Structure 1
Amino acid sequence: MNVPLLIARRYFRSKNKRNIITIISNISMIGVAVGTMALIIVLSVFNGLEDLVRTLYGKSDPNLVISAAKGKAFDVDRTFLMSLEKMPGVALVTEVIEDNALLQYHDRQMVVKMRGLSDNYFGQSQIDANIREGDHRLRRDSLELALVGAGVQHELSITLNNRLSPMRLLYPRNTPGSKTLSMNPEKAFNEENLIAGGVFLIEQHIDDSYIFVPISFAQRLLGYTTRRTALYVKVGGSFEIEQVKEQLRKQLGPAFKVQDSDEQHVSLFKAIKVEKLFVFITFTLILLIASLNIFFSLSMLVIDKKKDISVLLAMGATEKTVRQTFLLVGAIVALVGAATGLILGVGLCWAQQQFGFVSMGMATSVVDAYPVKMQVSDLVFTCVSIIVITLAVSIRPALNASKLDLRENL
């Protein structure tokens, strides 16, 4: 028979006296339950936001991006492309030229990110499903067209398929041997005109700053011939992205970077994880403060049960038995609160996933309700935190109980 557990359960379930000790114990359980529930919900929301960001960027991000480890661009010839296309797992390779350019339309202008894409880009991107107006084509027969972000269109009031007033893009001209920009605008900038054929709506950062153009247009504007700023790689359906990424890194060597979707936005995902960590620490401290009531209730229980403890010691109970008894009392109080909080937290997260009763509250939001995603690791870390906190606040009263003087209390 486990004597410490038997006595601890009796102390916990005793309802003979509705005294201050019982009240403090109940407050402790409520505090632990609320703190645990809040921690589970907040961590699940961060997981949901992280998944939402992946989904949003996944609409335009390729599986893998090859870029130069040093410098902005690198040379690409047909032999190089064929060597990549023949690799196992590589389904498609898209050539990309990307740089800043000045976009003018009527009397308005802004600096945009111009992304020049080869014709096979839409074979590996889902962007055609995010066209808000017009269509996704970058060419109609011999006519070159641009896809503009919704924010860019709004900022410049761009009209689609306007052949009378095309967009005007300018890029600083690279004059060999010259380190300064000419004061004559006609000599200082390359200039090309282009018609907007469609508007995309993907994610605010992309929508407010990007336009997509044919790669031939970008070559003329930037003065590139065989140079490219990146290659987009689509991985075959039966291959793992991580496996193909490692194969490409081995073949290309240290002169190139090969990045998957998360690595392309490493700063953003790192920021989300750091915020999640600080939220976890903050709510753990709140749990610690709520659990201090366990310390006070156990300390008062030790004072109230001095005679019982002395009798136990006189009957042959060891100091270890007494310590374990009061540690178990604190553990039971924390366990009941934590179990209640876990059930409520998981239940609310499940309800949000199923019914989405908490709205984002924004008309322009890409999702109607707050995204949540529960992870087993969050539940495990929460439980471990509660165990550590419970031991920390219970050990001092338990030690005091085991050190009582028999002669003074019998």
Structure 2
Amino acid sequence: MNFLFAWRYFKSKKSTNAINIIAWVSVVAVVVGTASLIVVLSVFNGFEDLVKSLYATFYTELKIVPAEGKLLQLTPEQEASMARIPGIKAWSKVVEEKALLQNGEAQTIVYLKGVDSQYTEVTTMADYVKVGEFNLGTAEQPRAILGVGVESALGLWSDRELLPVTAYLPKRGAGINVSDPMSALIAENLRTAGAFAVQQEFDNKYVLTNLDFLKRLLSLEPDEYGGVEIALQPRADEKDITESLEKLLGKNYTVLSRYQQNQGLYSVMQMEKWVIYILLSLILVVAAFTMIGSLTMLVLEKQKDIQVLKAMGASSGRIQGIFISEGFLLAGIGAGVGMALALLICWAQQKFELIKLEGGSFVINHYPVKLMWPDFLLVSATVVLVAFLASWLPARKAAASNMELG
């Protein structure tokens, strides 16, 4: 009943055109606010997915790390038990250490990461090798795959067999000798096999090499590793597998999800999304002010109607409900059109890549978009809240009106 009155008031001819104009201005403001929120949140979702996919290239779904220190022990018996856990596809044992790489006069600090032959089963890093090949060599003849940023810093072509680079790593257990600092380091030559390009964070600081070679340099025991990176089967239950691994390995091991391995990144992305939402919601606040003006003028326009309804027995709550419904009607029309417009814009961007990213150094050349239904629910809830707050004051004024019929 309330919406029936609200609809008739919306359609009816007003004595002053300004009332209609302000009403339509408020609808347009809601259209712009709703469309802007959904489009920008969808673009943010697209970038978030892109970043996560790039991080997923380097970080596996699960990773076993030591609860304390830098090294853990993984025995053949533990590996056999891991193999019996349903849902685990493969795992790769890794060791990571900071090192100095030198090529002639050029040198740079990198993270030298030793990986085993299963590494290509748990990550897609081999697909991102831009020059050369994914070849780790052996413990005696190790090869290195450089990030393109490292390759540039060293001033070499990693796919060409010229001179090896020299890797300097700290000796295990060696103290710092002030008179001879180099005595605390161990050096060995590395032949380069290729270069990968994933994203700047990895490209500028990571070098992949043979696991056994790095373990030999660091004087590690046969069952000592820096961590174990695990890939899961499609649709595997990550939580159940994590609990099984924690039960199997005990308290000296920690099992990290991909989110936990990059908790800082994901937290920042979520915070950015909420900041964007709050800032764009200010457009709806503007719509609220125009809606207050429109409804206030409508209340003044319909004073006689209000008194007739009261004379017929309508309660103050009924009168208030009619004008709150009018606010919801204005906001609903604006939100519906805004969502339809947002869908059209996002579809056009996905289909025709209308808006390009400037510069040629990005993984993609256009703004990515990804529509998600929680965004529609969030925007809808925001519009409903704004409509209620904007219509409550005029509706209360209408309900409190005590003018008598002349």
Task: Report the TM range for the smaller structure's normalisation.
Answer: over 0.9
Q: Distance in 2 between matches of 1:354 and 1:245?
A: 39
Equivalent position of 2:195 in the other structure: 199
- Selected match of 2:261 from 261, 264, 277: 264
Higher deviation after alignment, 69-78 or 380-389: 69-78
Equivalent position of 1:283 in the other structure: 280
Structure 1 residues 381 and 141: CA distance shift in structure 2, 3 A: closer
Equivalent position of 1:137 in the other structure: 135
Equivalent position of 2:31 in the other structure: 33
Which amino acid in structure 2 is aligned with residue 198 of structure 1? G
2:291 corresponds to 1:294: yes
- Selected match of 1:189 from 185, 203, 217: 185
Output one character per residue of 1:156-196: Cα deviation in whole Å (capped at 9) or x when no partner. 112336655211111222346x4x44431441211111011
Equivalent position of 2:124 in the other structure: 126
CA drift at 1:271:
0.7
How many percent of aligned residue pairs carry the same amino acid?
A: 31
2:384 corresponds to 1:403: no
CA drift at 1:140:
6.9
> What does residue range 20-99 of structure 1 map to in structure 2 within 5 Å?
20-99=18-97
Find the residue that maps to 1:231 and give its secondary structure. Answer: strand
Equivalent position of 1:385 in the other structure: 382
Which amino acid in structure 1 is aligned with residue 186 of structure 2? N
CA drift at 1:299:
0.9
TM-score normalised according to structure 1 size: 0.93
Is the 1:298–1:330 Cα contact (8 Å) retained in structure 2? Answer: yes
Q: Distance in 2 between matches of 1:307 and 1:17?
A: 13
Equivalent position of 1:214 in the other structure: 210
Q: Distance in 1 between matches of 2:322 and 2:122?
A: 64
Q: Distance in 1 between matches of 2:161 and 2:17?
A: 85
- Selected match of 1:112 from 105, 110, 121: 110
Structure 1 residues 164 and 51: CA distance shift in structure 2, 3 A: closer
Is the 2:14–2:20 Cα contact (8 Å) retained in structure 1? Answer: no
Q: Distance in 1 between matches of 2:184 and 2:47?
A: 44
Is the 1:314–1:406 Cα contact (8 Å) retained in structure 2? Answer: no
TM-score normalised according to structure 2 size: 0.94
Find the residue that maps to 2:58 and give its secondary structure. Answer: coil
Equivalent position of 1:251 in the other structure: 248
CA drift at 1:239:
3.4
Gaps of 5+ in 1: none
Q: Distance in 1 between matches of 2:93 and 2:170?
A: 22
Which amino acid in structure 2 is aligned with residue 374 of structure 1? L
Gaps of 5+ in 2: none
Find the residue that maps to 2:334 and give its secondary structure. Answer: helix
Equivalent position of 1:338 in the other structure: 335
Q: Aligned residue pairs: how many?
A: 405
Output one character per residue of 1:62-106: Cα deviation in whole Å (capped at 9) or x when no partner. 232100122111123333333323333333231110021111111
Is the 1:162–1:195 Cα contact (8 Å) retained in structure 2? Answer: no
Structure 1 residues 14 and 161: CA distance shift in structure 2, 3 A: closer
Structure 1 residues 238 and 385: CA distance shift in structure 2, 3 A: closer
Structure 1 residues 7 and 89: CA distance shift in structure 2, 3 A: closer
Structure 1 residues 298 and 91: CA distance shift in structure 2, 3 A: closer
